[in-house]
Amino acid sequence: MNVLLRTTVALAALTMALPAFADDAKPLAGQSITVLLPSGQSPSLAADFEKETGIKVDLQMLSWDDIRPKLITGLIAGTPPADVTEFDWSWTGQFAAAGWYEDLTPLIDAETVKDIAGSSIFTVDGKLLGVPYSNDFRVMLINRKHFTDAGITDTPKTLDALVAAAKTIKDKGIATYPIGLPLSTSEGTSTSWYLLTKAFGGELFDKDFKPLFTTPDSAGYKALEFEIMALKDGLVDPASTGLKDSQINESMFAQGQTSIMISGEPGRIAQFADPAKSKVAGQIEAILVATESGNTRSYGLLEALGIPAASEHKEAALAFIKWMTSKDYQIKNYGVGVLPTRTSALEQLNNDGKLLSGAVLVEQAPTVGALFPQGTPTWYPQFSSAVSNAINQAVKGEVTVAQAVQSIADETVKAQQQ
Amino acid sequence: MELRLSQRILTGIGLLLLILWSIGPIYWAIATSFTPTPDLMSQPIHFFPEHLTLNHYQRLAGFGTVASNDVTVAAQFRNALVNSVITALAATIVSIFLASLGGYAFARLEFPGRQTIFFIVIATIAIPGYTVLIPLYRLMVSLKLLDTYLGVTLIYLSAFLPLALWLMRSVFQQLPLSIEEAARIDGAGRMTILFRIVMPLAAPGLVAASIITFLGAWGQYMVPLIFSPTKTKPLTVLIPEFSTKNFVDYGLINAAGTIAMIVPILIVIFLNRYLVSGLTAGSVK
Amino acid sequence: MSLAAAAVPARRKGDKGIDGSADARLGLMLAAPIVIAMLSLVLFPVASTLWDSLHRVNPMMAGQPFIGLQHYRDLLVDPVVNESWRNTVVYVVICVVLETAGGIAAALLINQAGRWRRYVLAIVILPWALPGVVNAVVWGWIYNPAFGLLNGLLVAAGLDFEKFVWFNDRTIALFAVSLVHVWRMLPLTAVIVLAALQSIPSDLYEAGRIDGATRRRMFFYITLPLIRGGIAVAMTQSTVAAFNFFDEAWILTGSARGTRPILVQVYLEAFQNLHFSYGMALSVLVMIASLTVSLVYVLRVQRVTRLD
């Protein structure tokens, strides 16, 4: 433990000196690090970084679903899976409890932490375990052409207005199923329900992680009722009970068959604007998350970069993280569809007119909160799985809403005790 | 045996259904790989692509009109193809070499623990990969064999050796003992007999075991995902990467999948004779 | 029949040859690399996992105390685990039945194909030669409700399968997922059974015909008894493969409980929930279960083949 502490302190001292040298001296040149990220990164990522710092990067890219088994295998075996790795918001509780990642608090300057508001999601007991590099929060995405064709000019701010708009679009025959909402047993189903819970003005848990969604007047309960109503009223395609969010985005929304994505991902806007991948280029825009009260809310699902505690090249790894989360690189990285985490970078992109649906994203960003303000729990995977399984059963009519939320609560309690 | 006409018609229909069942999904994958991305999401679907495109293949090969980041797609793809061939070949050669020597020993030579060892080795076929994943990973890290051809080959060896050994032992058991006995009387040593007389006779079995091992290694996913993340990454790990968090490129996945099929298809078509004769070793008089 | 014979101990015990001790030395020498490889790469890791499963290894908790069989006791009463076992049993039954029945039918058909036999066999083997992941991705695309081949064909045939979701109903989903696995594994059964069919001496059928037996009777009294050994080996293969069912279910239906096989549960416990040794204990149970079932077949093969 002492050794670890000493290296951290030494590291801190060294890195504070780093920026001064960075331009001319390249103090870490010649070192090499491994970096594990999901596929879809800029192809010149490694080369750009090496040019800047002289540090060689062995970039390992895996599909998103494959990152976690790869990471966990290395971490449980006690070896660093890489010197810098992907660090998803949902892993925070587990990785913090396992003590797998280096505390970056003394290494990252306060200004950066302030500029990247999402840092708080990755901070556990005062320790910053990852620096967010890819921003993701929820907005709603609409097909503006469908709205205009249906004669709707106002942008819905409340859920009631949203449902009314959807009904108008359906009645006019513009879209058979105007609302896109995943209801299968997949993560996208859970994240959509979280957003609707927020939209109904509630939270998932109180500060002691007691479930807040079991009573009929709770936001989570109403959110599930809302989903069932949307399905029963024919606003949501019945096929959604078997579809993941990505499938709904690609096979319905991008085809112009659906008008509203309840749980919209800003990262997809660029894809929808690309005529090669979408039939609705020029028709899609983001709107603020409509809520019951009309006061918009959202939550963040950011991805960060962290350094496994077992890494042997921490200085070079830190240099990489600083570089990849710098304002300049974030602005550049928006080119491959990675939304900046720095408020300053977002603003600049918007001011330059480069940010698609920029005004909405910049307005939504400050309303983004943590899904678990009390810290992501270690049992998040069980909770999320219980949520999607219960919702899927409820919308198929196999269980009632009360039974569904109760089963989520029961599973949560069980997971908490394990 | 002569069949009545009605039976021949029934057999013909059955064979046709069998062929449709076998190649239908393969046809669909190939058709998808030649369909332009926007056409993939059209209704009603077209059983034959309306427009054909080589775009997905061009992107894999790295020429034609491509976006900037496809340069790496092509490079990655070439490396993965080479890696798949190397690791599958290496695994096959080592496994078959050990399995044929061992198979002969287990079939013909009497030594202490013969039955027990054989049974334990064969029983390992039933061990799920996850049971050994983490200890194996620790072992590979401590031997510094992560992301090396040697490391992956060793793991494949441990996975495919049992079946190959099982096959080879049975092939040797089927060979008539009289030839060997005759050679022994002429004064030939065991190894001479093994390499000069037995191995040539067992050739069909060797080929069959090789093909089964090669195809097994070629299709591996979890092992290379964990043990060969970059430098030795094979096609099977690369293909799912074409679906990023935000966009699933079905055209590209099917094109890469089609190419991943080509090597097995060639093997089946050209070595089919050996495969069949190897697997029917007992029946070929 | 090569594979069936594999399960039988060497037919003649007395084939020691001339120099027994030299043979024993050579035998040990040739078997040594295999023993070393299996010991270090399989048996040692298995032992390590067994040891872990008797401890509480959870990276989120300090220490790794010895807990004996606690995990195994907990696994027996874990409802989610039991649901996965049920699914796996369903998969094993569906896969083994369909692969065996389909494989035998395919082998009989190919055997009748005359001069086309080679080509038909080449085509039938193809699905087995494809990487499992590619297989699952391709089938996921075929099952796609809106743009998939399956619904397209059914709609073209005039049936109401417009946007039908194949993974909605649990029973249908279990079948749909199994089918993908069956498609890939059926060829192996077909090849093994075909090999057994071809090893039946044709004079047996001649004799049967002279006695005036019908084709039907000949199938049940000559063919079936003689390919039983091959069928049992094929069933062993199918069973082990079905117990280790992972790729297809994971890619097609993710972690849905209704279709979650036991190995996906192992993955979720160990890698998702980080209850590492709990997951490992479950994987040990999977190993024991598939070994036990396989052993039943292998012992049966021995008995069957000893009869002839």
Please identify among residues 17-36 of chain C the ones whose CB lies closer than 8 Å to any CB of chain B. Answer: 17-18, 20, 22-28, 30-31, 33-35
B87–chain C nearest CA distance, Å: 14
| C38 contact residues in B (CB cutoff 8 A) | 120-121, 124, 158, 161-162
Q: Is C123's CB within 8 Å of B19's CB? A: yes
C256 → chain A, closest CA residue: A185
Please identify among residues 234-263 of chain B the ones whose CB lies closer than 8 Å to any CB of chain C. Answer: 235-236, 239-240, 250, 253-254, 257, 260-261
Superfamily for the C70-133+170-307 domain: MetI-like (1.10.3720.10)
pLDDT value at position B245?
Answer: 61
Q: Which two tokens stand for residue B3?
A: 């069949």
Q: Does C273 touch chain A (CB under 8 A)?
A: yes
Three-state helix/strand/coil letters over chain A: CHHHHHHHHHHHHHHHHHHHHHCCCCCCCCCEEEEEEECCCCCCHHHHHHHHHCCEEEEEEECHHHHHHHHHHHHHHCCCCCCEEEEEHHHHHHHHHHCCECCCCCCCCHHHHHHCHHHHHHEECCEECCEEEECCECEEEEEHHHHHHCCCCCCCCEHHHHHHHHHHHHHCCCCCCCEECCCCCCHHHHHHHHHHHHHCCCCCECCCCCECCCCCCCHHHHHHHHHHHHHHCCCECHHHHHCCHHHHHHHCHHHCCCCEEEEECHHHHHHHCCCCCCCCCCCEEEECCCECCCCCCEEECCEEEECECCCCCHHHHHHHHHHHCCHHHHHHHHHHCCCCCCHHHHHHHHHCCCCCCHHHHHHHHHHEECCCCCCCCCCHHHHHHHHHHHHHHHHCCCCCHHHHHHHHHHHHHHHHHC
Q: What is the pLDDT of residues A316-326, one digit of tens each?
A: 999 999 999 99
Q: Does B229 touch chain A (CB under 8 A)?
A: yes
Closest CA to C102 of C189, C179, C184: C189
Write the CB contacts of B242 (distance below 8 Å, at least 6 apart in sequence).
A39, A63, B248, B249, B252, B253, B256
Dihedral, CA atoms, A398, A404, A410, A412, nearest 10 degrees?
Answer: 120
Q: Which two tokens stand for residue C72?
A: 């195994």
Q: How far apart are CA A313 and CA A295, in angstroms?
A: 46
Q: What is the pLDDT of residues A73-98, one digit of tens each?
A: 999 888 899 999 999 999 999 999 99
B89–chain C nearest CA distance, Å: 15
A252 → chain C, closest CA residue: C146
Confidence of residue A106 (pLDDT cuts 50, 70, 90): very high
The Cβ of residue B43 has, within 10 Å, a number of other Cβ atoms equal to: 15
Q: Is C273's CB within 8 Å of A379's CB? A: yes
Residue by residue, pLDDT tens for chain C (308 residues) are 333 444 344 434 444 444 578 888 999 999 999 999 999 999 999 999 999 999 999 999 988 999 999 999 999 999 999 999 999 999 999 999 999 999 999 999 988 887 777 788 888 888 887 777 778 878 988 898 878 889 889 988 888 888 788 888 889 999 999 999 999 999 888 887 887 787 677 788 888 888 888 888 888 888 888 787 778 778 888 898 899 888 888 888 888 888 999 999 999 999 999 999 999 999 999 999 988 988 887 777 666 554 44
User: Chains near A, with 3+ CB pairs < 8 A?
Assistant: B, C
The yes or no reply on domain A2-135+301-365 and CATH 3.40.190.10 is yes
> A206 exposed, middle or buried (CB, 10 Å; 0-12, 13-18, 19+)?
exposed
| C267 contact residues in A (CB cutoff 8 A) | 69
ipTM for the complex? 0.85
- Please say whether the beta carbons of A227 and A391 come within 8 A: yes
In chain A, list all ranges with CATH 3.40.190.10.
Answer: 2-135+301-365, 139-299+379-417
Q: Could you tell me the CA-to-CA distances from C97 to A400, C91, C251, C259 in Å, in that order?
A: 36, 10, 23, 18
The yes or no reply on domain A139-299+379-417 and CATH 2.40.30.10 is no
| C274 contact residues in B (CB cutoff 8 A) | none
A-B contacts at Cβ under 8 angstroms: 84
* Length of chain C, in residues: 308
Q: Does B168 touch chain C (CB under 8 A)?
A: no
Q: Does C60 touch chain A (CB under 8 A)?
A: yes
Q: Does B86 touch chain C (CB under 8 A)?
A: no
Q: Is C127's CB within 8 Å of B22's CB? A: yes
C124–chain B nearest CA distance, Å: 6
Q: Is A271's CB within 8 Å of B247's CB? A: yes
Q: Where are the domains of chain C?
A: 70-133+170-307
